[in-house]
Amino acid sequence: MNTTIEEILKIRKPRPDYPVIEEIVARFSPRHFLNEEININDINSIFEAARFAPSGWNYEPWYFYWSKNGERSFKKIIACLGKYNRYAQSASILVVGCFIKQFKGKKSYYRHDLGAAVMSLVLQAQHLGYYSRQMGEFNKSKLVKMLKIDKTHNPFVIIAIGKLGEYKNIDEKLLKREMDPRPRKKDFVKKLD
pLDDT per residue over 115-140, tens digit each?
Answer: 999 999 999 999 999 999 999 999 99
Q: How many domains does the chain have?
A: 1
Query: Distance (Å, rounded) from C-alpha 98 to C-alpha 111?
Result: 9
> Per the domain annotation, does 104 fall within a domain?
yes
> Per the domain annotation, does 33 fall within a domain?
yes
User: Average model confidence (pLDDT) for the chain?
Assistant: 92
Backbone angles phi, psi at 180, to 5 degrees: -75, 120
Query: Distance (Å, rounded) from C-alpha 71 to C-alpha 102?
Result: 32
What's the pLDDT score for residue 105? 65
Beta carbons within 8 Å of 128's beta carbon, 6+ residues apart? 42, 45, 46
- Structural domain range at position 153: 23-164
CATH number of residue 127's parent domain: 3.40.109.10
> Per the domain annotation, does 61 fall within a domain?
yes
Would the pLDDT of 166 be above 70?
A: yes
Helix axes 72-80, 140-147, angle to 10 degrees: 160
Query: Distance (Å, rounded) from C-alpha 143 to C-alpha 81?
Result: 9
pLDDT classification of 176: cutoffs 50, 70, 90: confident
Reported as a single tens digit per residue, the pLDDT across 50-76 is 999 999 888 899 999 999 999 999 999
∠ CA 151-155-181 to the nearest 5 degrees? Answer: 180
Query: Under a CB-based contact definition with an 8 Å cutoff, are residues 149 and 96 in contact?
Result: yes
Would the pLDDT of 182 be above 80?
A: no
Reported as a single tens digit per residue, the pLDDT across 2-36 is 678 888 888 888 889 999 999 999 999 999 999 89
> Per the domain annotation, does 100 fall within a domain?
yes
Q: Average of pLDDT values for 138-143?
A: 98
3-state SS record for 75-121: HHHHHHECHHHHHHHHCCEEEEEEECCCEECCEECHHHHHHHHHHHH
What's the pLDDT score for residue 152? 95
Q: Please give the share of the chain, as a percent, with pLDDT higher than 70.
A: 97
Would the pLDDT of 106 be above 80?
A: no
> Per the domain annotation, does 186 fall within a domain?
no
> Per the domain annotation, does 4 fall within a domain?
no
